[in-house]
A and B are shown apart, each in its own frame.
Chain A
Amino acid sequence: MYKSLFFSSGFHIGIIFLSIFTLPFIAKKPIDVPPLISVELIQISDVTNIPYAPKAKKIIEKVKKEKEKLLSEQAPPKKIKKDNIKKINLDKKKENIKELTPKKTPTPENKKEKVKKEKLDAIPMPNQKKEKLQIEEEKKQNPSKKIDKDKKLKKIIESKKPNTQENKVKQVSEFEKKELFDPNNIAALIDKSKEDLGETNKKTDKITQSQDASMNISTLTLGEEDALKAQIFGCWSIPLGLPYNENLLVRIKLKLKPDGTLLKSEIIDHARMNMPGQGFYKVLAESALRAIRLCQPLKVPTSGYERWKDLQLNFDAREMLGG
């Protein structure tokens, strides 16, 4: 009697443990979460690369104060072409980002470090609210811990100085505007209620693409997609004899290696290739396959292999043939 009870409870406990450690919604975040501050974010905002991190708020305040001083002390900044400014800033940012968030391969060893990192820099997720709040408070109370990093960030923001006040206002996001123009609100934001935090996190996630693994964001960023497209555009010799008014969409599923080389390619509608009267489809499919093979290794993101290891390319030549 006791024996069977013992075994039963043992198994049940085992199952509970297994479910805790194995079920996807309880599981820990994937290791290969993209870096906290992506390059795309920088390109879009064009003012600062960390508008959503709490520490940025302090810096923004500092910068504002310093700027007021500088405006009164210094001569007006030289006019530099906007593009040049962008490039310079981006480069600087990239360097800084590298320094701040050293790149780590998604190995189990790095897992803990990554999680820690996220806790430090990322905006807290709904399920981490309490911990995050504590950390933020700590940061506020002990800013000296972050002096080094803050200095670097300060440099980044300082590098924006040639931009006019107007430009800055135009280019910042709504979220930033609130921070910039309503300094009193910063404190309120830090101490805001749970609901507010949840909402903010959602917004932030949309912008930074993948802060939360539970979201399972399975798209490429605009930059990543553009890079891949541009590469394949160059490799794809479109058979010019094809009719433009027929349904000639070729969908190819790819399995890629981490370096972007092809592991496996599969035409989704493969049966159509051998059907009578589908000569044009076959030609288009073959040309698409040639393009992929010619292009490899494909220009895929350097991180997030799990995200893009399976990829589907939809080749549609109608636009080109019809024009």
Chain B
Amino acid sequence: MKKLKLLTIIILFFIIKTSNSYSLIEVDITRGNLNPLPVAVSPLFQDNKSKNEFTKELDLEDLGLEISRVIENNLKQSGLFNPLSKDAFLQKPDIAHLKPRFEDWALIKAQALITGKVSLDNQKLKVEFRLWDVLAGREMLALAFTTVPNNWRRVGHIITDKVYERLTGEKGYFDTRIIYVSEEGPKTQRIKKLAIMDQDGFNNKYLTLGNELVLTPRFNPTNQMITYLSYFRNLPRVYLLDIETGIQEVVGDFPGMTFAPRFSPDGKKIIMSFAKDGNSDIYTMDLENRIVEQITKHPSIDTSPSYSPDGKYITFNSDRSGYQQIYVMKSNGSNVKRISFGNGIYGTPVWSPRGDLIAFTKLHKGKFYIGVMRTDGKGERLLTENFYQEAPSWSPNGRVLIFYRETKTNKKGEGFSAKLWSIDLTGYNERLVETKTDASDPSWSSLLSN
């Protein structure tokens, strides 16, 4: 017994002796780089049989390669990722999809890897993909989709959304559409048509013929409906259009001009401005029972209303202080507060889908700015400056803004153009959005796959 005690004491001494007497060193890492994450998008593998079928049906030589290009382009446009050149890839797509050699991918500095496989299953396109963490040497995500072969571009967008969400923590915005006003002809005689396209500029379609002037189209956040302003018989009215059926109708029976329409977050109401006798106030109309409600009552011009994502607040611009400024009020019109106090004129406020920011257009000293501020008006940040630009619209994840920019004409009135541009919240990733014609008044849809 005594021996046992002694042994225990001796062992304890040795434990004390051998234990680490240093306490843990802590180092705080508070900075990092904002460089885009290097990603390798391997062409999606397809067997010969599927390859021949797809070539016949879609007139594409390598569908797997095309889908990978869609993903690559999306990731690059986001500004957060740097897709690596396919020429540098060391591993073939089929083997990479089964078991990547992480050393090879790490060698080309890839931190994430996307692999996949395309096949034909009962005349349907089946796409499976995997996202790999190259440095950790493990799989991060694996999913499969089945759709009609013609839908292959959308599959690319959906994959990008999933990858984006997994690597950034926020929802993507790639499986979305943009509605805009297509413009053609000289500046004094512009033909304006409603047009819709994928967010990357593909699959462009016109929704109106261009007989009437159309302005400010806005997507319903819950379904494929749009509301817009159209001058029918020289009377500007707010219209509603179902994209899938093509049915169009006037919103409300207002005895005057209605404009600047926008949907409520649940898609059940339309909020807009109604002008009568030189005064303009904000109204809502319930789309189910068609009940109209006046929200503001002020002898000033109140316009450009936009709901907060929870539907409890509305932001709008008004000249009630003498100059056009941005205001926030409760959705019943009470508790109106001015939030913009900077120099210049503020307009077109749009509440972010995240709820934390309000985007706006600002005119100051002859220049137009697109900026954001917090919902209490603090933290104003101007993201981009130009000769003329306005009408910001948020991506569904509240990270990117799309707007349009017009160029100056020369003395002869030549050189005018209007183009869509996008910019992210950092203010660095500004990109031209390709459209077939000139374009203005863009509006971003919510995610189609939701």
Residues in chain A within 8 A of chain B (CB atoms): 11, 15, 18-19, 22-24, 27, 216, 218-220, 225, 228-229, 232-243, 253, 279-280, 282-284, 286-291, 293-294, 306-308, 310-320
Q: Is B209 among interface residues, defined by CB-CB distance under 8 A?
A: no
Indicate if the CB atoms of A218 and B30 lie closer than 8 Å: no
* Shortest Cβ gap from B176 to chain A (Å): 16
* Shortest Cβ gap from B17 to chain A (Å): 4
Indicate if the CB atoms of A238 and B32 lie closer than 8 Å: yes
12 residue pairs bridging A and B, Cβ less than 8 Å apart: A22-B16, A218-B23, A237-B34, A241-B80, A241-B170, A286-B133, A288-B29, A293-B136, A306-B22, A310-B22, A314-B28, A320-B31
Say which residue of A233, A286, A310 sits within 8 Å of B29 (CB atoms): A233
Chain A neighbourhood of B358, CB < 8 A: none
Interface members, chain B 149-165 (any A CB < 8 Å): 165
* Nearest 8 Cβ contacts at the A-B interface: A236-B32, A283-B169, A241-B168, A22-B17, A293-B135, A241-B170, A238-B32, A280-B169
Say which residue of A22, A280, A310, A320 sits within 8 Å of B25 (CB atoms): A310
Other than A240-B426, A290-B136, give 19 A-B pairs with Cβ distance below 8 A. Answer: A11-B6, A24-B17, A218-B23, A229-B29, A229-B31, A232-B32, A233-B31, A236-B29, A240-B168, A284-B169, A290-B133, A293-B136, A294-B111, A306-B20, A306-B22, A312-B26, A313-B27, A314-B29, A316-B28
Indicate if the CB atoms of A218 and B31 lie closer than 8 Å: no
Indicate if the CB atoms of B27 and A314 lie closer than 8 Å: yes
CA distance A243 to B27 in the complex (A): 23
Q: Is B399 among interface residues, defined by CB-CB distance under 8 A?
A: yes
Chain A neighbourhood of B111, CB < 8 A: 237, 290, 294
Indicate if the CB atoms of A279 and B169 lie closer than 8 Å: yes
- Determine the residue in chain A with the shortest Cβ distance to B10: A18
* Shortest Cβ gap from A30 to chain B (Å): 8
Say which residue of B29, B166, B356 sits within 8 Å of A316 (CB atoms): B29
Indicate if the CB atoms of B32 and A320 lie closer than 8 Å: yes
Chain B neighbourhood of A253, CB < 8 A: 24
CA distance A259 to B256 in the complex (A): 78
Indicate if the CB atoms of B27 and A220 lie closer than 8 Å: yes
Indicate if the CB atoms of B21 and A24 lie closer than 8 Å: yes
* Shortest Cβ gap from A231 to chain B (Å): 10
Indicate if the CB atoms of B29 and A307 lie closer than 8 Å: no
Indicate if the CB atoms of A23 and B170 lie closer than 8 Å: no
Chain B neighbourhood of A320, CB < 8 A: 30-32, 34
* Shortest Cβ gap from B105 to chain A (Å): 13
The 8 A CB mask of B2-22 against A (1 = contact, 0 = none) is 000010011001101100111
Chain A neighbourhood of B16, CB < 8 A: 22-24
CA distance A206 to B25 in the complex (A): 17
CA distance A7 to B245 in the complex (A): 102
- Determine the residue in chain A with the shortest Cβ distance to B23: A218
Q: Is B167 among interface residues, defined by CB-CB distance under 8 A?
A: yes
Given A19-B13, A240-B80, A290-B136, verify A233-B33 contact (CB < 8 Å).
yes
Chain A neighbourhood of B166, CB < 8 A: 283
Q: Is B215 among interface residues, defined by CB-CB distance under 8 A?
A: no
The 8 A CB mask of B136-148 against A (1 = contact, 0 = none) is 1000100000000
The 8 A CB mask of B23-53 against A (1 = contact, 0 = none) is 1111111111111110000000000000000
- The range of chain B's interface size is 35 or more
CA distance A280 to B170 in the complex (A): 8
Given A283-B168, A290-B135, verify A238-B27 contact (CB < 8 Å).
no
CA distance A312 to B26 in the complex (A): 5
The 8 A CB mask of B216-244 against A (1 = contact, 0 = none) is 00000000000000000000000000000
Indicate if the CB atoms of B29 and A23 lie closer than 8 Å: no
- Determine the residue in chain B with the shortest Cβ distance to A248: B169
Given A23-B17, A24-B16, A27-B17, verify A307-B32 contact (CB < 8 Å).
no
* Shortest Cβ gap from A296 to chain B (Å): 10
* Shortest Cβ gap from B391 to chain A (Å): 24
Indicate if the CB atoms of B29 and A218 lie closer than 8 Å: no
* Shortest Cβ gap from A16 to chain B (Å): 11
CA distance A320 to B30 in the complex (A): 7
Indicate if the CB atoms of A312 and B399 lie closer than 8 Å: no
Indicate if the CB atoms of B25 and A312 lie closer than 8 Å: yes
Chain B neighbourhood of A24, CB < 8 A: 16-17, 21
- Determine the residue in chain A with the shortest Cβ distance to B26: A312
CA distance A11 to B20 in the complex (A): 27
Say which residue of B6, B30, B136 sits within 8 Å of A319 (CB atoms): B30
CA distance A30 to B37 in the complex (A): 43
Chain A neighbourhood of B136, CB < 8 A: 286, 289-290, 293
Chain A neighbourhood of B21, CB < 8 A: 24, 216
Indicate if the CB atoms of B20 and A311 lie closer than 8 Å: no
CA distance A235 to B26 in the complex (A): 18
Chain A neighbourhood of B356, CB < 8 A: 243
Chain B neighbourhood of A216, CB < 8 A: 21-23
* Shortest Cβ gap from B134 to chain A (Å): 9
Indicate if the CB atoms of B13 and A241 lie closer than 8 Å: no
Given A24-B16, A293-B136, A320-B32, verify A239-B22 contact (CB < 8 Å).
no
Chain A neighbourhood of B33, CB < 8 A: 233-238
Indicate if the CB atoms of A291 and B32 lie closer than 8 Å: yes
CA distance A18 to B426 in the complex (A): 64
- Determine the residue in chain B with the shortest Cβ distance to A8: B2
* Shortest Cβ gap from A67 to chain B (Å): 42
Indicate if the CB atoms of B34 and A240 lie closer than 8 Å: yes
Indicate if the CB atoms of A241 and B399 lie closer than 8 Å: yes
- Determine the residue in chain A with the shortest Cβ distance to B12: A22
CA distance A314 to B26 in the complex (A): 7
